[in-house]
Amino acid sequence: MSLADKAKINKFLSLMREVIGKINGFHLIDREKNLNSLYKHGLTIDIAKFYIENLAVKDYWKGPEPDDKEFNNYEWWFFAREINTALGKTLFYIKIRIETRGREQIICLSFHEADYLIKFPYK
């Protein structure tokens, strides 16, 4: 598991906020797990975007890690955030990257309930 220092995390979060603020700057991959989790907790994609946009160093879990599914230089960053939902406080696992091919976008591969224990190195 790779860990970034706080300066590198802040740099990523700053760039992420810049990109996510652009027109069409955010894309949640419509995986069944993501959509089911949003629906179950009464959340929308815009609410997920809001929580991602407001991530902080304390929400960081690990990364960046290379994308092992594609032949490119993208790196995945891993975060988790406790969110008050219709079902109460729930820890959501968040896996994101910055896409620079074509138009810049934040790609969110995972936004769902955490499946396992997450240890926050900066909390």
Question: Digits of tens for pLDDT over the chain (123 positions)?
Answer: 679 999 999 999 999 999 999 999 999 999 999 999 999 999 999 999 999 999 999 999 999 998 877 656 789 999 999 999 989 999 999 999 998 777 899 999 999 999 989 999 998
R_g over Cα of the chain:
14
Say if residues 63 and 96 touch (Cβ distance below 8 Å). Answer: no
Q: Which residues contact 50 (CB under 8 A, 6 or more apart)?
A: none
Class of domain 6-67+74-113: alpha beta
Q: Give this prediction's pTM.
A: 0.93
Every domain of the chain and the residues it spans:
6-67+74-113
Long-range contacts of 84-90 (CB under 8 A, 24+ apart): 85/41, 85/42, 85/43, 86/41, 86/42, 87/40, 87/41, 87/42, 90/41
